[in-house]
Amino acid sequence: MLTLKNIHKQYQDSPLLRDIHLKVDRAETLCLLGPSGSGKSTLLRIIAGLEQPEQGKVLWQGEDITEKPSHLRNFGFMFQNYALFPHMTVAENIAFGLRMKGKPDGKIGERVEEVLDLVHMLDFLDRSVTALSGGEQQRVALARAIAPEPALLLLDEPVGSLDRTLRERLLTELREVLHKLETPVIYVTHDQEEAFSIADRLAVLHNASIIQAGSPAEVYTFPGTLWLAGFLGFQNQVEGTVRSLDPLTIETRFGMLRTDQNCQHEFKENARVRLIIKPDGAVLSDCSGGVNCLEAEVEDSLFSGDRYRVKFKMTGGSQFIFFAESKPEVGEKIPLKIMGESILCYKDENGN
Amino acid sequence: MKSDWKKIGRITLVVIPLIFLIIFYFYPIWEIASVTLRRLDPDWMKDIPWGIISDAAGFTVFQAVLSTVLTLVLGLPAAYLFGTYRFRGKNLLKILTTIPFILPTVVVAAGFNALIGPRGWLNLLFMGLFNLAQPLINLQNSLAAILIAHVFYNTSIVIRVVGGALEQMDPNLEMAARMLGASRWKTFRNISLPLLLPSVVSALLLVFLFDFTSFGVILMLGGPRFSTLEVEIYIQTVQFLNLPLAGILSFLQLFFSMAIAFLVMRSGGQFIAPIVPHVKSERLRSPEKPGEKIFLALMAAVLIILLVFPLLGLALRSFLSVETTRAGQVTAWNFTFDFYLSLFENTRASIFYVPPVEALRNSLIFASASSILAILLGFMLSAGIRGVKRFDRIVELLILLPLGTSAVTLGLGFFSAFSRAAASLRYYPLLIPAAHTLIALPFVMRVIRPAMESIPESLKDAAKMLGASPFEVWKYIELPLILRAVITSLIYSFTISLGEFGATSFLARPELPTLPIAIFRYLNLPGGNNYGQAMAMAVIILAVCALSIFMLERLQFRKAENDRMNGHAHT
Amino acid sequence: MNKKMRTISFGILFALLAASCAAEPQTLTVMTHDSFAVSEDVVAQFEEEHGITVEFLLSGDAGSTLNRAILSKDHPVADVLYGVDNTFLSRAIEEGVYESYNSPVLENISDRFKIAPDNLALPVDYGDVCINYDKAYFSGNDLDLPQSLEELTDPVYEGLLVVENPATSSPGLAFMLATIAEFGSDGYLDFWQDLRDNGVVVVNDWETAYYTNFSGSSGQGPQPMVVSYGTSPAAEVVFAEEELEEAPTASLVGENMCYRQTEFVGILAGTANRGMAENFVDFMLSETFQEDIPLNMFVFPVNENAKLPDEFEEHIQVPENPASLPLDEIREKREEWIEGWREVMLG
């Protein structure tokens, strides 16, 4: 359905998007994830036709639409600031796309009510948009985008400006709505929790490229680069040297660590690597020494809803964060059992 | 490829108004300049009264600056009033403050004199009250009269331009500041005022240029002791037929006015405020605290006294016929409609009799034509120069040129340029809307352009994504959002045309009499009836103007009315 | 189409055009200043008699009108120019805007008006710029009327006179010329200094002087004497709000207190309509037109056979010796005189 080939875009003097390839060929929700400034919104706008790439093609159902004006693409777009037309009511906003398509009035009214119902906003039919709350505006914006039955739906950080509880609630609703539609959706966000909860597939943007694409589970289980691991919140990082290859065992200054993960890279013995230990990968145990057993001193712990987020001071001084079921005493020295599947290994950029 | 077409489209949008400017401004100026140069004789430098010229130049700058400052002193608080509060009688007051703009100076002088002249109402009142022999207030032929008249004329520009911008400002910006701990005054000073700066600069420029080239006010209310460059140009042209000297003075005038305009534009910055167009002016609220109410009352009182009373003096005079004894004492004031009625009679069966209905019709036709033309060209220019950085400054300066040019010179330029083909004289009246448009265009641009640029791109993008072609985007999104600005510009172009400013007063023809011309003919002859009729005609202009403005203003409310009538709830 | 058909069609086309041209009445264009006025039926009479339409081109005040005539003299925009007065006549002649016309009707006109060389311009009307005074004021205050310009400097008249700036006002200029006729080029400035010391009020334009300052008009101003026109008292009667038997004002007509202005008409050099222009000039000097002038423009007809309206006979004082100055002297010294005046009066 949608194919992006070789998309290049410059911003001032450096590349914003470099050789981007992307494909969406069924009714799935693809999430473009990346930090602010990574070009994901620009990529979305290029797909929408609101911006032009310097190089590359956008193909839809095989047709090259790179130069096709936005208003002829029949793509729906939901803006970060909603961009509701302030001089029109809710109903008029939603009806706009249908009017532009030339649909008869009767049909327009029906459809407007249909989509408003979908987003649970039927009561707001004749309200002025300027007095709506954030959540209400977001839903109207969504309804407006889907009312003309677009072939592709583009969402640019749709819940970005909402507060947390609202965001979660609306995400759930959004997921419902998107599932009901049988339209491919491209969803842009910088928030990985959001991305994971809504996407069928993820594409992560960093340094002008897509560094990993896959299902949320795939990406979360093994983030493709060190940077991505950091982006996803995996901060526990340590250097090490490969001691044996099968299973991959690495010596670090905390101790020996053995990983169950397919590290996706051919490491040689004595290679320098960097390891990430996921925060949910440690268990308070009474292991003593040996592989995957580290000792750490509790620095601080924070209650986090269903568990504790504990700061540990590791041997050598670095700070690691692990989740724990129970609250440990500050200052306690605790042995931690590290799960093999929670150890991710990456090339050490400085050496190997 | 697509961007090439876009570029061509954009260039066309800018080129058409520029061509208009070339035909109706540069060409006439070129013509009169070359004629002037051809008439230079070898010793034209001989008798130049340098003393008078430098005095005139100095005084021109002085009175223009002072008038502008005073206009801001009254206009800014008034703009704040109109831009912040909702109150009863607001629309009426706004209309009344705009009317002075259309009055020909000859009428304003009469109105002022009717009010504060040596035998004006105020003086009569004081003399009666305090048994004085001499008039108490004698502002005739004074700098004060010039300044007051300028303020009277131009305050409405500040009110509409700055007040309009204030009204449209996003109230969230100010609220955010308040939440961060800023007092009302600090919020105004640090948030609202900087955001208003572009509109203040615009108003300032226009007021300054009007004051700089002011003619009637200086001549009739200032009197012989005060001379500006424009007055000297007039004298040299019409009294001494010394076109070369007049030419130099015109050039000087243009140079000074443009230099100052350029400096003002520079310092005001090019920053277009992110005024998110709020369609229903949520910023407007009723005054709550006693301080606010006092401010409101005081400001309204000042505006009424300064801007409305002179009009009343005039209106009164048109309804009152005076009886005197042989000794000259006024014995009776009789209320009468005679002056109005006799307007419709051609008592002398003169071929140049101006039936008021015809004069009115002609004035309205010219006004409509020039308003539409000004708006069209203003739109084209605003759309065309979007985003092109340095070029837009050049364009803005270019369209200010007519405002800084002597009306006398421009009038002669028009004549030189367009009288060549004898046939074209028949089409002379077509030049009238063109001339009016030249004067209205800078105003239109300075109001419409910021409004257009303040529409968030995302709204236009949203419309595009929903299938709107570029024209549909303009029609359904941009136009409604800048409607307020469009109406403001319409009102101004309309009033400028009705009042026939400067150069245009040198253009009319007898078959197409307009209201100001008609007034002039009545005041040209002695006789109580003539005077009364002139006043009556002036009141007719006032009424027509007020009515037109009222109807134009209603255009913006029409949609709201419809919504309300169809039961759409409003919050 | 073949050649024959084409020729025939063009022929028909031309014939039609020619016919339409002939059928349409020609137009005579008369360029005048804004104060020009004439009765509809008088013009209609001329139009019918000669089968043409007359178009009037009002072109501003006298100076503006002359400017336009000069600027367009190589391609005249009109056929006839009316409204140049004796202060501008030399200039007009020098610039060559007119072509000579020795009209037969000139026989009926007194020689004292024929001051243009070669009949380049012909006199049409004249008027006196005089000081008008408010009768009620003078009688009410038991004040004697000043009999000469000199008497105006008498302290008993302090602050009672309003005059116009000669640089910006035609009557103002005329009055200044009167003082020059009386006191000479060397002495007039002293006179004006005395006037200044005696509190004379100076304004820029006639409208302000008459309607704001003058006590005898409906403006009810403070000054009972104003420089205006000798015909103004008649106008006050004609245009009075209520019927008046007597004019409320009158003119001071002592020696050199009034200045005589004559207005001229001429055929514009290079006109394509010479024949018709001549007819119109003759018409302007004919009794019909001349008798129409007084109540339209409030000036006197030069044709002494023309009857004056009653209001003119009853309410106007005609000076015996109105002041006047030679055209060439005015041409030469005009700027100098005005600048001198400005220095004394406005410094």
Q: Please say if the pLDDT value at position C158 is more than 90.
A: yes
Is a pLDDT exceeding 50 seen at residue C327?
A: yes
Q: Above 90 in pLDDT, residue A90?
A: yes
Considering the domain boundaries, does residue A303 fall inside one? yes
Share of chain C above pLDDT 90, in %: 55
> What pLDDT is attached to residue C20?
47
**Which two tokens mark B249?**
């003075």
Closest-CA residue of C relative to B50 is C339
Chains B and A are touching, with contact defined as 3 or more CB–CB pairs separated by less than 8 Å: yes
In this complex, the residue of A86, A97, A100 whose CB is nearest that of residue B278 is A86
List the single range of B320-329, B377-386, B468-477, C83-92 with lowest mean pLDDT: B320-329
- Examine the domain organization and report whether A194 and A242 are in the same domain: no
| A17-44 core/surface letters (b: 16 or more CB in 10 A; e: else) | bbebebebeeebbbbbbbeeebbbbbbb
Q: Write out chain B residues lying below 8 Å of A128, CB-based.
A: 280, 570-571
Residue of B nearest to C30 (CA): B510
Find all residues with CB under 8 Å of B464, minimum gap 6, and list them: A49, A50, A69, A70, A71, B473
Do both C203 and C329 map to the same domain?
yes
CATH number for the domain that contains residue A117: 3.40.50.300
Domain boundaries along the sequence of chain B: 2-562
State the pLDDT at residue A103: 86
**Given its phi and psi angles, is residue B89 left (phi above 0), alpha (psi -120 to 50 degrees) or beta?**
left
Q: Does C338 touch chain B (CB under 8 A)?
A: yes
**Banded pLDDT at C12 (limits 50, 70, 90):** low
B to C CB pairs, distance under 8 Å = 204
Asked if A303 and A222 sit in the same domain, the reply is no
Residue numbers in B near A79 (CB within 8 A): 458, 461-462
Q: Pick the residue of C26, C89, C97, C220 with the most B CBs within 10 A to test the interface with B by mutation.
A: C220
- Choose the final residue of a domain: A209, A227, A245: A227
Give the H or E element holding residue B364.
Answer: helix B356-384
Of C167, C207, C345, the CB nearest to B235: C167
What confidence category does residue B565 fall into, taking pLDDT thresholds of 50, 70 and 90?
A: very low
Of A310-324, B388-402, C19-33, C302-316, the poorest mean pLDDT is in C19-33
Q: Cβ of B464 and A97 within 8 Å?
A: no
Which CA distances in Å does B391 have to A12, B24, B270, B388?
Answer: 21, 21, 12, 6
Q: Does A79 touch chain B (CB under 8 A)?
A: yes
A352 within domain boundaries: no
Please compute the mean of the pLDDT values over residues A318-327 and round it to a whole number: 85
Task: Report the CATH number that the domain containing residue C210 is assigned in CATH.
Answer: 3.40.190.10
Place C301 in a pLDDT band, splitting at 50, 70 and 90: very high
- CA distance, residue B101 to nearest chain C CA (Å): 21
- Residue C2 has which token pair? 């073949």
Which band of pLDDT confidence, cut at 50, 70 and 90, is reported for residue C58?
confident
pLDDT of residue B328: 45
A126 touching B (Cβ < 8 Å): yes
B contacts of C88 (beta carbons < 8 Å) = 241
* Residue C23, pLDDT above cutoff 60: no
Q: Quick one: pLDDT at residue C25?
A: 60
Q: Do B47 and C298 touch (CB under 8 A)?
A: no
Tell me the C-alpha distance between C93 and C97, whole Å.
6
Greater confidence, B209 or A289? B209
Same domain membership, residue A180 and residue A147: yes
Q: Which residue has the tokens 């309204």?
A: B300
Within 8 A of C58 by CB-CB distance, chain B residues are: 352, 508-510
**Domain shared by A205 and A80, yes or no:** yes
Q: What is the DSSP string of B109-154?
A: HHHHHHHHSTTSHHHHHHHHHHT-SS-S---TTSHHHHHHHHHHHH
Contacts of B470 in chain A (CB under 8 A): 71
What pLDDT shows up at residue B17?
A: 92
Mean pLDDT calculated for residue range B432-456: 87
Residues of B in contact with A73 (CB under 8 A): 465
For the stretch A102-124, pLDDT in tens is 889 889 999 999 999 988 888 99
- With a cut of 90, say whether residue B11 has pLDDT above it: no
Quick check: B534 contacting A, CB < 8 Å? no
Per-residue pLDDT, C45 = 93
Q: How confident is the model at residue B133 (pLDDT cuts 50, 70, 90)?
A: low
Dump the DSSP string for A24-69: E-SS-EEEEE--TTSSHHHHHHHHHTSS--SEEEEEETTEE-TTS-
Q: Is the dihedral of CA C82, C86, C92, C98 positive or negative?
A: positive
Residue A310 pLDDT level (bands cut at 50, 70, 90)? confident
Q: Is B237 on the interface with C (CB under 8 A)?
A: yes
Do residues A56 and A205 share a domain?
yes
pLDDT value of residue A346: 85
Taking the Cβ of residue A48 and every Cβ of chain B, the question of whether any pair is shorter than 8 Å is answered with yes
The answer to whether the Cβ–Cβ distance between A67 and B1 falls below 8 Å is yes
A151 touches chain B (CB under 8 A): no
Same domain? For C214 and C324 the reply is yes
Nearest to B220 among C134, C205, C335 (CB): C205
Domain hosting C251: range is: 128-260+315-346
Q: How many domains does chain C divide into?
A: 2
Cα–Cα distance for residue pair B237/C67, rounded to 1 Å:
8
Instruction: Give domain status of residue A194, yes or no.
Output: yes
- DSSP secondary structure of A306-336: SSEEEEEEETTS-EEEEEESSPPPTT-EEEE
Mean pLDDT of B95-124: 75
pLDDT at C1 over 60: no
Chain A residues in contact with B480 (beta carbon < 8 A): 87
Average pLDDT over residues A9-22: 87
Q: Given a cut of 60, is residue B65 above it in pLDDT?
A: yes
Q: Is the pLDDT of residue C13 over 60?
A: no
Least confident of B111-120, B529-538, B539-548, C3-12: C3-12
Share of residues in chain B with pLDDT > 90 (%):
16
Q: Does residue B466 register a pLDDT over 90?
A: yes
As assigned by CATH, the class of the B2-562 domain is mainly alpha
The verdict on A44 and A185 lying in the same domain is yes
Q: Could you tell me if A62 and A193 lie in one domain?
A: yes
- To test the contact with chain A by mutation, choose from B466, B475, B483 the residue with the greatest count of A C-beta atoms within 10 A, namely B466
Q: Which residue of C has its CA nearest to B243?
A: C67
Q: Are C109 and C285 in contact (CB under 8 A)?
A: yes
Report percent pLDDT > 70 for chain A.
Answer: 98
Q: What is the pLDDT, as a whole number, of residue B292?
A: 84
Query: What CATH code is carried by the domain that includes residue A269?
Result: 2.40.50.140
pLDDT-based confidence at residue B25 (cuts at 50, 70, 90) = very high
Could you report the per-residue pLDDT of A199-224, keeping only the tens digit for each?
899 999 998 889 989 999 988 888 88
Helix (H, G, I), strand (E, B) or coil at B420: coil
A198 and A312 belong to one structural domain: no
CA distance B265 to chain A (A): 29
Query: What pairing do the DSSP bridges indicate for beta strands C225-229 and C201-203?
Result: unpaired
Among residues A202, A227, A252, the one where a domain terminates is A227
Same domain, yes or no: A217 and A234: no
Residue-range definition of the domain harbouring residue A69: 2-227
* One domain, residues A131 and A280: no
Report pLDDT for B50: 81
Instruction: Flag whether residue B332 sits within 8 Å of chain C, measured between CB atoms.
Output: no
Q: Which of C36, C210, C215 sits opposite B526 (nearest CB)?
A: C210
Residue with tokens 């292991």: A287
> B345 to chain A, minimum CA–CA distance in Å?
51
- Say yes or no to pLDDT of B498 above 50: yes
Answer yes or no: do B322 and C236 touch at CB < 8 A. no
So what's the pLDDT on residue C280?
94
Same domain assignment for residues C134 and C227? yes
Tell me the pLDDT of chain A averaged across its residues.
Answer: 86
Pair A89, A203 in one domain: yes
Interface A:C, ≥3 CB–CB pairs < 8 Å: no
Do A294 and A151 share a structural domain?
no
SS3 for chain C, per residue? Answer: CCHHHHHHHHHHHHHHHHHHHHHCCEEEEEEECCCCCCEHHHHHHHHHHHCEEEEEEECCCHHHHHHHHHHCCCCCCCCEEEEEEHHHHHHHHHHCCEECCCCHHHHHECHHHCCCHHHCCEEEEEEEEEEEEEHHHHHHCCCCCCCCCHHHHCHHHCCCEEEECCCCCHHHHHHHHHHHHHHHHHHHHHHHHHHHHCCCEEECCHHHHHHHHECCCCCCCCECEEEEECCHHHHHHHCCCCCCCCCCEEEECCCCCCEEEEEEEEEECCCCCHHHHHHHHHHHHCHHHHHHHHHHHCCEECECCCCCCHHHHHHCCCCCCCECCCHHHHHHHHHHHHHHHHHHHHC
- A128 to B280: CB separation less than 8 angstroms, yes or no: yes
Q: What is the pLDDT of residue B269?
A: 58
Number of independent structural domains in chain A: 2
Residue C256 shares a structural domain with residue C267: no
- How far is the C-alpha of C131 from the C-alpha of C114, rounded, in Å? 26
Query: If you average pLDDT over residues C256-280, what whole number do you get?
Result: 92
Instruction: Out of A201, A227, A253, pick the residue that ends a domain.
Output: A227
Is the pLDDT at C86 greater than 60? The verdict is yes
